[in-house]
Structure 1
Amino acid sequence: MRQWLSQRAETSPTACALIDAETGDEYTFSALDQAVEQLAGRLSKFGVSQSDRVGIILSPQIESALTFYAAARIGATAVPLGHRLTATEIETRLTRVTVQTIVCEHCTERTVFEATAAVDDDISVISVDNSTIDSVDSVETVTSAEVNTVAWNPQRTQLVLFTSGTTGSPKAVKLTAGNILWSAVSSAFRLGIDPNERWLVTLPLHHMGGIAPILRGPLYGMTVVLRGEFDTEQAVTDLHEHSITAVSLVPTMLRRMLNANNTSSFPERLQTVLLGGAPASTTLINRCQGESIPVYPTYGLTETASQVATARPQTAFDNPQMVGTPLLWTDVTIVDESGNPQSAGNPGEIVVEGPTVTPGYASPESMVKGEYGFHTGDIGVLDTDGRLTVINRLDDRIVTGGENVDPGEVATVLESHPDVASAAVVGISDTEWGERVVAAVTPMTGESINKDALRSHARNHLTGFKIPKMIRVTDTLSRTVSGTIDRDAIRELFITDTDGTSEDR
């Protein structure tokens, strides 16, 4: 069975496949197919082969898309990692999932070099640019070898994506080619699709929300417009200048775009605003209704290759808290603590079954699966029409601007500072980000804690959005009878606390 891109290059060779919004460069499906073939040949020359895992640490750019496709063509598994991760964060991921090769660029090669040097595995590092490090190879230094293209196989693991777990260690989710196909088809059934679609990608390319349109492009025959980093004013301009018909956003992005100075209105040709990553407020949905913005609130997980349930605009406008009915072939069951199904109107854990559900984790964790499918750890309720409302999470993850932050990971970093005895990290409500990361810390006996120094320490180990925006020094941390952190009491510390400094993301 043939790869999607090569098949599309035959059927629609001159149709526009990809636009680099930064440079204005355009690729037809034929040109994209040729560029992928060349990169796949060069990676093969460096020893990348079928069943290998290829780490991708690139900023959101055309080269990222080419590497996804090239890995698939070789039969390797793409493992995208955030280009803003610190060396410590990369090292953590590399100790949980073995990769044979990492593809990087000039601005990430130093961090990658530091991370791989700390890992015992022999990892080949290849840059898409001319490298300044002797041990880092450059794809430009070799000619392309002939590629033995691997046939499309629904059982083959095409992606491994990292997500935050409840223990503080990132989980590595395996997604098969079949998972991705069923997700693409079921999404098309809900959203509708047109070969004339022009989909703007502004989400990070290490999240499924950013990757999905790129991988679906050849299947749908649509044009993907890739914008490297999200910028509010630029995103609004892109909607108009590139005749965008669809865009994926998190609520914070949409809110900022609606408030942008250059926004008179979103273009009438815009047909789909797929809104996920975090719950959307009733206020935001109501504003979309008032401004005739076709918003599709969605609930999804990395473990389900993106969407589980998605509400069409009228459903969202009539019921702003709902995320609609499950997608085609996806079954959602609400269960109680014993795993028994709940009747309509009664909340419980959301359990998902269907062909988009991951076969498991590449990292050591085991999936929680029961009689009715994959246990998501999220709490929700179904109404009598089968429409889902997501209430909250079973665990304590913080969702800030669509990014998951595990409190345990942040607390561990804070507690590694020599002046900190213990730390508790929680999320508090924030009108801009949905939730804001804050931390309460206790000092070592006889020591005092300098908040700026502690933030600097955290910045060396954590991505920017994980760093606490406010820090409160306290003598003790409130705990429950069982000895666990009393998170509600910790949040109370910040209700009247103004002794914190806001941090940029």
Structure 2
Amino acid sequence: MTTWLPHPLFQAAQAHPHRIAIRDGLTSLTYEQLLTHVAARGAVLKGMGVDGGTVVGLTGKQNLDWLINFHAIGWCNAAVFPMGDDLRLSDRQLKDLNVTTLIESREDVITVDREETRAGGFAPRWPLDEDRLLIATTGSTGCPKVIPLTTGQLFFSAMGSAIRLGHHIDDNWLMCLPPHHIGGASILLRAVWYGISAELCLPFQSQRVSDRLHSGEVTMVSLVPTMLSRLLASETDPSHYSKLRCVLVGGAHCSKSLYNAAIEAGIPVILTWGMTECASQAATQSPDQNPMTHDCGSPLPFTVVSNEDNRLRIDGPTCPGGLLTRDLGVIENGRVNVEGRSDSVLISGGEKIQPQSVERTFEQHESINGCVAIGLDDEQWGQIICVCVALNEGYEFETELEELVRMGRSTLERHEVPKVWILVPEIPIKGVGKVDRMQLRSRLGLGEANTDESVDEIRWAFRWLKFWKGNESVLLADDAAQISIENSDDRAFKCNRSLTQTLNLHRGKQTLASTHGLVERRVGEDEGQTNASGIEDAIEVSEGSGQHFFETDVSVLEGATIENDPRTVDLMESRSEFVFEGHKQIPNGREADQND
């Protein structure tokens, strides 16, 4: 005998016909009105052959019309497959998923007829073991994977979340996460099971979200860490979120510094960890948990989280058959701590390194907007740690770098200390907030990104900044930089070189002087040459010789030091504490001696 549940929208409309079910801007629908629209749209879909056992793809603008289609597909007992604009599936893939129909939502706004009658007394039944929702996910790496979720998984996840977070009949859940991700789709289903209001706020805009939170009409909101960071940056006084009781943050790692900043600002952040395969949340903090504990809380009711070979495993009705995840973590005092990913472990000198543990060390620094640790191939160590950072506004890389290096040396194990630092314009993000490590490596010239053809193939150009003691290298990545040396392709530090090629040129095997054809000679202004005190001046000065070269705080003089050889350039002085191997530091204001 199959166990089933009545359609949740039907029951919500019977119990609370005049309660607001959904808002989108200035338009709202009561549960009675929403059911009327859904039943009418469902009748049309049934006439098109949509029924139980089929899958319907849903595309288009995610507005009220989209939401009516979402529920109407379920009204037909079919499974709904929300498809984002960036999802690319072939006809063969759609056929394999049993997608029989594609529906695109309309652009026009739904009009509300106050005199519309209620839908009839028949409620569709949802078998617990029948697929109800399909979600496409790429996780942290890899190709898109479509995950089917049953009625039972979605129901037990919804009930477990309500038990943990509490159920208030006047809740209004602000939906900033797109419904083609489990974090967004789950809100739409939970709202009708709970009989509460959901409010569309798509796409995410920090100022718009802030305005809604200040309105006193929103009690709950789900965010990813990137959204929380942007919200904090745009806020002047988040303590005035008068009715807000829960800010659920998940989908990616939330740094301790971001978490603490939100807590100190009075934002009721609740951290959560889960997987699409278990219908969203697996572990979630309790609203009365000590806010200074930076973990993901205990497993939800109906869900069991355990540790198996250092990997987190999920069992229970939210994840039938169990799932051994790729997330590494521990269970301490009944609470889940996620420590990284088993598929992103780096190995340097035989030692295993979790890049997330390196990242979390530096994410606490106030200057860091984003931080990613990657491995670079190295003949001696196998891999060395490279940290890519994006800074908050108002911070200078050269100023903060020395403190970051000291922080790494004092906090991390010796094999975890970064050997290469790269300042990048931004940390690539995919989906709703996950770091796109493949795209980052591609932009650094370390591999091809697994993205569609519309993504540009930009490679960041690099400016060499300093050469630190202890073989620590520093690069600036800048889309605007142009680095080239004409007629010297075999030795030049060029923007189309990969990061690995660049490092091989400069990692002590060859001096910078030899790789760039630089020689040290007696030079001075009395020879009619112009002192260039900065990067921009250096570019302008060097244009005459057909050579572009960047080095912070190193004066570049116009004119070749070897007659008729445009590849060479003089270095007169350096204000850097450390300079490139092969160069000699010359005190500021003193001419170079021939024998220095």
- TM norm. shorter chain > 0.5: yes
1:353 counterpart (311, 315, 333) = 315
Could you tell me which amino acid in structure 1 is paired with residue 324 of structure 2?
H
Decide whether the 8 Å contact of 1:6 with 1:33 is kept in 2.
yes
- 1:236/1:262 contact within 8 Å kept: no
Task: Report the secondary structure of 2:277's partner residue.
Answer: helix
Q: Aligned residue for 2:280?
A: 306
User: Which residue is equivalent to 2:475?
Assistant: 496
Q: CA deviation at 1:395?
A: 2.1
Q: Letter of the aligned partner of 2:202 in structure 1?
A: G
Give, in whole Å, the separation in 2 of the partners of 1:283 and 1:92. Answer: 46
Q: How does 1:78-97 map to 2 (within 5 A)?
A: 78-85=80-87, 88-89=88-89, 94=94, 97=97
AA paired with 2:337? T
For 1:166 and 1:252, the matched residues in 2 are separated by 15
Q: Deviations over 1:181-204 (max 9, x none)?
A: 100100011100111001100101
Q: What is the distance in 1 between the residues matched to 2:27 and 2:271?
A: 32
Q: Secondary structure at the residue paired with 1:391?
A: strand
Distance change >3 Å, CA 54–CA 499, structure 1 → 2 = same
> Which residue number in structure 2 is paired with residue 332 of structure 1?
305
Q: Which residue of 2 aligns with 1:112?
A: none
Look at both structures and tell me which one has the larger radius of gyration over its CA atoms: 2
d(CA) in 2 for partners of 1:155, 1:54 = 18
Give 1:103 shift: 0.9
Secondary structure at the aligned position of 2:251 is classed as coil
- CA–CA separation in structure 2 for the residues paired with 1:159 and 1:30: 24
Find the aligned partners of 2:162 and 2:249 in 1 and give their Cα distance.
15
Per the alignment, residue 411 of structure 1 pairs with none
Distance 1:495 1:212 in 2: 44
Q: Residue 296 of structure 2 aligns with which residue?
A: 323
Matched, 1:65 2:39: no
Q: Conserved in 2, the CA contact under 8 Å of 1:156 and 1:177?
A: yes
Contact 2:178 2:184 in 1 (8 A): yes
Between the aligned partners of 1:90 and 1:204, the Cα distance in structure 2 is 22
Q: Relative contact order: is structure 1 or structure 2 higher (C-alpha 8 Å, sep ≥ 6)? A: 1
* Paired residue secondary structure (1:206): coil
Q: What's the offset of the Cα at 1:19?
A: 0.6
Deviation at 1:217, TM superposition (A): 1.1
Partner of residue 11, structure 2: 7
Cα distance in 2 between the residues matched to 1:393 and 1:210: 24
Match of 1:18 in 2: 22
Whether the 8 Å contact between 2:140 and 2:435 is mirrored in structure 1 is no
Secondary structure of the 1:44 match is helix
How far has the Cα of 1:96 moved from its partner? 5.1
CA distance in 1, matches of 2:171, 2:203: 21
TM-score by length of 1: 0.68
What's the CA shift for 1:63? 2.1
How far apart, CA to CA, are the structure 1 residues paired with 2:42 and 2:194? 23
Deviation digits for residues 211-264 of structure 1 (CA, Å, limit 9, x no counterpart): 111111121111111112111101111112361000000011111111115655
8 Å contact from structure 2 (residues 81, 134) kept in 1: yes
Partner Cα distance (2:90, 2:240) in 1: 38
C-alpha distance in structure 2 between counterparts of 1:242 and 1:55, whole Å? 36
The alpha carbon displacement at 1:287 in A equals 1.4
Point out where structure 2 has 5 or more consecutive residues left out of the alignment: 110-118, 346-354, 357-373, 375-385, 392-426, 463-470, 482-596
Alignment of 1:242-391 (within 5 A): 243-260=217-234, 263=237, 265-313=239-287, 315=289, 317-320=291-294, 322-336=295-309, 348-357=310-319, 359=320, 373-383=322-332, 385-391=333-339
Structure 2 contact 216–242 (Cα < 8 Å) conserved:
no
| 8 A contact 2:444–2:460 mirrored in 1 | no
- Counterpart AA for 1:160: L
Counterparts in 2 of 1:188 and 1:95: CA distance versus 1, 3 Å: same
Quick one: which of 174, 177, 183 aligns to 2:148?
174
Letter of the 2:188 partner, please give it.
I
Deviation readout 1:401-451 (Å, 9 max, x if unpaired): xxxxxx9xxxxxxxxxxxxxxxxxx995556767454134899xxxxx9x9
CA drift at 1:497: 4.1
User: Structure 2 vs 1, CA of residues 429 and 54 (structure 1 numbering), >3 Å: closer, same or farther?
Assistant: farther
Q: C-alpha separation between the residues in 2 aligned to 1:156 and 1:248?
A: 27
Change (3 A) 1:25 1:55: same
Separation of aligned partners in 1, 2:92 and 2:389? 29
Measured in 2, the distance between the counterparts of 1:74 and 1:64 equals 16
- Give the Cα–Cα distance (whole angstroms) in 2 for the partners of residues 197 and 10 of structure 1: 18
- State the identity as a percent: 30
| Contact 1:74/1:148 (<8 A) preserved | no
Which residue of structure 2 lines up, in the alignment, with residue 118 of structure 1?
none
Query: Which residue of 2 is the match for residue 121 of structure 1?
Result: none
The offset of 1:11, in angstroms, is 1.1
Per the TM alignment, residue 41 of structure 1 is displaced from its structure 2 partner at its CA by 1.0
1:214 to 2:214 alignment = no
Residues 354-392 of structure 1: CA deviation (Å, up to 9, x unaligned): 1111x5xxxxxxxxx6xxx31111101111x11111011
User: C-alpha distance in 2, partners of 1:73/1:241?
Assistant: 34
Alpha-carbon distance between aligned partners in 1 of 2:223 and 2:235, rounded to the nearest angstrom? 19
Deviation at 1:328, TM superposition (A): 0.5
Rate the CA distance shift 1:283–1:382 in 2: closer, same or farther, 3 A. Answer: same
- Aligned to 1:190, which of 164, 172, 196? 164
Please list the CA deviations of residues 142-199 of structure 1 after superposition, one character each: whole Å capped at 9, or x if unmatched. Answer: xxx9998531221111011111268833222111111111001000111001110011
Aligned residue identity for 1:275: V
Change (3 A) 1:93 1:247: farther
1:44, distance to aligned residue in structure 2 (A) = 1.4
Change (3 A) 1:94 1:165: farther
Cα gap change, 1:441/1:253 in structure 2, threshold over 3 Å: closer, same or farther? Answer: closer
Match in the other structure for 2:99: 99
Equivalent-residue separation in structure 1 for 2:194 and 2:387 (angstroms): 39
Query: Per-residue deviation at 1:301?
Result: 0.6
What is the CA–CA distance in structure 2 between the aligned matches of 1:239 and 1:3, rounded to whole Å? 31
Alpha-carbon contact 1:80-1:206 (below 8 Å) kept? yes
Deviation track 1:296-346 (CA, whole Å, cap 9, x = no partner) reads: 1000110000000011355362222x101101021111111xxxxxxxxxx
RMSD: 3.7
Q: 1:49 to 1:275 in 2, by over 3 A?
A: same
TM-score (norm 2): 0.58
Tell whether the 8 Å contact from 1:236 to 1:266 is kept in structure 2 after alignment: no
What is the aligned partner in structure 1 of residue 547 from structure 2? none
Q: Paired residue for 2:33?
A: 31
Q: Distance in 2 between matches of 1:29 and 1:438?
A: 45
Report the CA distance shift for 1:501/1:172 in structure 2 as closer, same or farther (over 3 A).
Answer: farther
After TM superposition, give the deviation of residue 20 of structure 1 in Å: 0.8
Counterpart of 1:38 in structure 2: which amino acid? A
Aligned mate of 2:129, from 144, 150, 155: 155
Counterpart residue number, 1:232: 206
Query: Structure 1 469/9 Cα, relative in aligned 2: closer, same or farther at 3 Å?
Result: farther
**Residue 411 (structure 2) aligns with:** none
Aligned residues of 2:444 and 2:459 also touching (Cα < 8 A): no
Q: What corresponds to 2:561 in structure 1?
A: none
Total equivalences in the alignment: 383
